[in-house]
Each structure stands twice: as C-alpha cells, then as structure tokens.
Structure 1
Amino acid sequence: MPTQPSTSRSATTPAAATGASTATGASAATADVSTVSVDDGRTIAYAEYGDPDGDPVLFFHGTPGSRLLAGLLEPAATEHGVRLVAHDRPGYGRSDPQPDRTVRDAGANAAAVLDAAEIETAGLAGFSGGSAHALATAALHPDRVDRVDVIAGIAPPEFAESTARAPRLLAGMARRAPSVLGSVLRADAWVAERRSPSAAVSRYTSDAVDETVPDDVATVVKADLLEAVARSRSGAVTEFRTTAAEWGIPLETLSKAAIDVRFHHGDVDANAPLADVRRFVAAIPTAELRVLEGADHLRTLTRAGPTALRERTE
C-alpha cells in the first residue's frame, strides 16, 4: 500500500508543448502533477483532467508515452463529467524507473495511484501498449475496476501473428541490447524535438487515411513523446521487452468478475494489426470488439476515446 501522496502544483511544460494553439494543447502542457510514494521508495507521477468531481477513469498511455497524452481527451472528459486520471508508468515522465517490473506489476502501480487520488473503483482506458497494463490491472485487481476500454491496443505475443517488423526489432533489442535501445530512443527524441509536431504524429498515422491531424493534437503527441523519455528511457526499454513476452495475466478473471471489456480498433491500424486483435478478443468470451472504419492508430484514440468517456455517464 502507498504512503500518503505528496502533491506538486508546478506545471510541466515540455519544449514541444510551448505555443500550443488550443485549449487541448495547453491543458496537456500545464496540468498539475501529483506524486505518490510506494513501499519500495519509488515515486509515481500522475495528472488529472476533466471534471474533478466526475466519474473516475484511469488512463494508460502508450509505449513510449506519458500522462500528457490524456490531454487529448480533456475536452470530452469535461463535457461528459469524467475525472480522467493519467499516470506516468515507471521509467516514463516523472515516475521513477522499475526496470525489473513485468506486465503483472501494472496493477500494483495503478492501485497506488487510485489510492492516492482517493478513488475506490474506476474505469480504465488503455491506449496502444498501455492496453496490456490496463488489462493486467483489471485482471489482478478486479475489485477496483468496473470497465476497461482497450483503444488501439496491442495483442499478447501468442496472438500477434501480424506484428510489423519494427516492433519485433525493438523487442529484440530490448532483450539483447537494452543500453543500445536506450541510446536509440535518446537520439530519436533529440531529432523529434527539432522537427515539427507532424513528424511525431507520422509514427501513429497511416497514409491510407486522407485526413489532416489538427495542430493541437499534433502538439500534444509531440509533447507526450518527448516527456516520455526526457528523464529516463527505462520505461520504454522495459515495456518493449515485457509486452513481447508472456503477459502472465489471468484473462479468465475478466469474464468471471463481469468486468465490461470493450476493444476499439481501427481497420487501417498499422501499429497494431486488427487481425491480431481479433484473435485476442476471441480469447475473452465477454469482450466486445468495435471496429472503426478508416481509422489508424492515432485516429482510433481521437475517435474512440471521447466515445468511451461519454458512455461512462450515459
């Protein structure tokens, strides 16, 4: 169990977030950061968006990623009366590293954040690589969760027959040469910081979608990427390794505990192929799959995220 949380009122303003042209970009850049200390001495950082008195949802960012990405959903959270809590998983943003963690450990870290925020039960929303950690939290702490929305989520390796070459290379590097991968991530962030936000966005979009990404969305995506690795690359290195191995979570618990699990996935998502997700969903009898036509990785988040928050209060 965590100790009493300490709260910081200082705002995070990464270089990429300065000059944000809309409320969405500004909120992602300036949300106050709170911290909670856990028993092993680590600190976990989190921020809140939307309605402070609303229905709680815990957001799990991607790999790599940070709490800042939840800023994309703040307008919807405010509109629909949702208290959106987003934490930096260990080794990302302002959270201390936990290099020996597994996917299963996500539940204890998430529970510490819920305790610090004085939330007994919450919905979970996991984006991309964060979906593994959201599902682990629900499966291992079913008493704290009433619903999971998996948004553009990845599939466990036993279902990932269509995984693209790049994720496989990153996973292999994380296992065999983690220090090299850390250097690659550092260099990648250096380049991304000096390029326009559209360069960061291109990692999560597909040429098959003829739709311009709004400037404020691109600004948040770039800020999220830079914040993810600004202080440590440990979070990304750890997760590229662990999510490519056996997750070790009891998926049957999701059905036994009657937790509402909904997958939202774009049909042109090149980052997380739909075919893999279909196989994964079939292994969870009570799960529902919603396919978004013409949506890639990022558009699935911007389209399905607000829908998931709206449904919390319907």
Structure 2
Amino acid sequence: MEQTSERRDAYASSPTSRTVSVAVDGAERTVSYADYGDPAGVPVLFFHGTPGSRLLGRLFHDSARRRGVRLLAPDRPGYGRSSPWPSRTLADTGRFVEPVLSDADVDRVGVVGFSGGGPHALAFAATHGRRVRRVDVVSGAVPPSVTASKPPALRLFESLANTAPALLRATLRLQRWVATRAPPSLVVSQYTDESDGVDDADADAVRRDFVEAFGRSRRGFVTEMRLLGDRWEWLPASLDVPVTFWHGTRDANVPAADARRFADRLSARWNALDGADHLYALLRGVPAVLDDRAAGR
C-alpha cells in the first residue's frame, strides 16, 4: 500500500475539475473530470465506483505524479457535476468518455475501473478498442450470469431502482445528509470491515467522494443499479486488449469467486490481493497498476 503520508498533501493540492459538453440524442449534456498526477505523463483513465465521483482519483494524485502518470477521472452521468443520462447503457460509455479524452488531448489510454467502474472500463474497451491500451479491473462488479451470491443491500438497491426509483433517490438524499455530518468512518464502513484501520486522510477522501457523488443528482446511481443488474449483451466473448483483474480475497461486496469466474470467461489475467477487502484492494491495486503503466507494461 502507498505510504499514507505521501497522499495527505495531494488532497489539498488536487487539481480543479474541467467540464465538457456532450450532445446526446439532440440534448446537450455536460461531463466533468479531474486531471490528476503528471500533466505530461502516461495517460490513464480512471472510472470511479458505484456510487462515486471524480474525487476518488484524489487518493492517487501524488503517487501518479511521482510515477509520471496522468490520471483522468470523469464523473459518470448523474454523478458529481455531470448531467444525468437515465437512458444510457453500458455500451454508451464511449459517448461520454471520448469528449473527455479529446478535451485532454489524449488519443490512447490505459483504463482502470474500480467496483461499478469495472464494467464501464470493459465496455469502453469493447466499443472503442482503438483508444485503449489495456484494462485493469479493481474490485470490479460482475454480470448476473456469473453471480453466485449478492449482498442483501445490493439486491435491495437493484429492486428499488426498478420498482421505486423515487424512493431510492430519497434514501440516497438522506444518506448524503448523514454522510456530510457523520465521521468519515461511517462511509468507509460500506467498503471495508476494517474502517478503524484506514488512514484519516484516506477516509476523508472516500467520504468526500461519496458526498460529491450525490451532490447534484441521485440519478446516476439509480441508472447504474439497473445497468449492472441487466444482461451485459454489449460484452463480446473476448476483448482485443489485455485485461487484468485485481481482486481482494476478502471482498464481501463482490465475492472473489464470482470475479474469478468472470476473469476466466474473458481470458483475463488474475491477481489475487491476499487479505484485501473491497476498499483495501483499491488502495493496494491502483498503485500497482500505476507502477505497470509507468514502466510501459
């Protein structure tokens, strides 16, 4: 894991966000992103979790800068400062990512997806492979076809997203209100059983990410609960770019056995992170990915 003292300064100095316009089905939408790390470095696209925002990339700002990596972290539609897009599918990922890459003057990227960002990373590679060097999925969500077990909270959220979206949005609004007033450990406990062991600066970054996710809308989460629970018809039998899975052996959010079945289906490389749960796989896995990208692997 990164030395936590190296990340503290990054939280105060992380870059401001940029916003680009996206024309979708005759409507003008906006997509916001943050540009972390080394502005002249190796470009890597980072997809936050579900829920999440561009602010999650702040965890890795300093480590990316020291490695010579430029980390582009967009808010997906309906999160943070990006406009909602309730009708989107996973196959639409490239339609809001390409304007970000164009604005950042980037042609090809390595792609990293955490948790619910994993399917988006794979979808972008499947539909826009010419722009993707490789994909790394960290604690990634898996399709229903390989899911043997699912946390009760996730089953509830998926059900509400399909049957009572207004109720789910109200619940998320309340959760955000609590998160802005409660200790960061309350939010962190959703991702790890060891919240007391998470560095204070990291815990605060995770809380800020959660709060920002629902700052303007709750529709992004509702949309993705539907998307992730549906059949992933956009996913081919194999991808034309290298794929690596990084997954904690103690992940309770996405069981490792389910993720391994999915990795095998994609003929992807498998890296088990011994003893890591959902959050600690993120904190250990992404720096390892940045090491590989900085070395040209």
TM-score range, shorter-chain basis? Answer: over 0.9
CA distance in 2, matches of 1:247, 1:217: 33
Pairwise CA distance, 1:24: 3.4
| Secondary structure of residue in 2 paired with 1:86 | strand
1:276-295 maps to which residues of 2 (within 5 A)? 276-285=258-267, 287-295=268-276
| Secondary structure of residue in 2 paired with 1:31 | coil
Match of 1:4 in 2: none
Match of 1:23 in 2: 9
Match of 1:267 in 2: 249
| Secondary structure of residue in 1 paired with 2:291 | helix
Match of 1:35 in 2: 19
Match of 2:66 in 1: 79
| Structure 2: stretches of 5+ with no match in the other structure | 1-6
1:196-275 maps to which residues of 2 (within 5 A)? 196-207=183-194, 212-254=197-239, 257=240, 259-275=241-257
Pairwise CA distance, 1:107: 1.9
Amino acid at match of 1:248: E
Match of 2:109 in 1: 122
CA distance in 1, matches of 2:251, 2:141: 11
Does structure 1 residue 304 correspond to structure 2 residue 290?
no
Match of 1:102 in 2: 89
Pairwise CA distance, 1:250: 2.8
Spell out, residue by residue over 1:37-81, the C-alpha distance to the aligned partner (whole angstroms, 9 max, x if none).
112300000010000000000000000100000011112201110
Amino acid at match of 2:29: R
Amino acid at match of 2:19: T
Match of 1:14 in 2: none
Amino acid at match of 2:91: R
1:133-152 maps to which residues of 2 (within 5 A)? 133-152=120-139
Amino acid at match of 1:38: V
| Secondary structure of residue in 1 paired with 2:79 | coil
CA contact (8 A) 1:25 1:219 kept: no
CA contact (8 A) 1:200 1:222 kept: yes
CA distance in 1, matches of 2:150, 2:94: 26
Pairwise CA distance, 1:136: 0.2
Pairwise CA distance, 1:31: 2.4
CA-based RMSD of the aligned residues comes to: 1.3
Pairwise CA distance, 1:168: 1.0
| Secondary structure of residue in 2 paired with 1:150 | strand
Shift in CA distance, 110/73, structure 1 to aligned 2, threshold 3 Å? same
Match of 2:3 in 1: none
Amino acid at match of 1:232: S
CA contact (8 A) 2:238 2:266 kept: no
CA contact (8 A) 1:66 1:88 kept: yes
Amino acid at match of 1:266: G
CA distance in 2, matches of 1:111, 1:129: 19
| Secondary structure of residue in 2 paired with 1:148 | strand
Amino acid at match of 1:222: R
CA distance in 2, matches of 1:22, 1:72: 9
CA distance in 2, matches of 1:61, 1:49: 14
| Secondary structure of residue in 2 paired with 1:43 | strand
Amino acid at match of 1:299: Y
| Structure 1: stretches of 5+ with no match in the other structure | 1-20
Pairwise CA distance, 1:166: 1.2
Pairwise CA distance, 1:253: 4.6
Spell out, residue by residue over 1:71-111, the C-alpha distance to the aligned partner (whole angstroms, 9 max, x if none).
11112201110000000000000000001111111122112
Pairwise CA distance, 1:248: 2.0
Amino acid at match of 1:71: R
CA contact (8 A) 1:206 1:268 kept: no
| Secondary structure of residue in 2 paired with 1:71 | helix
| Secondary structure of residue in 2 paired with 1:26 | helix
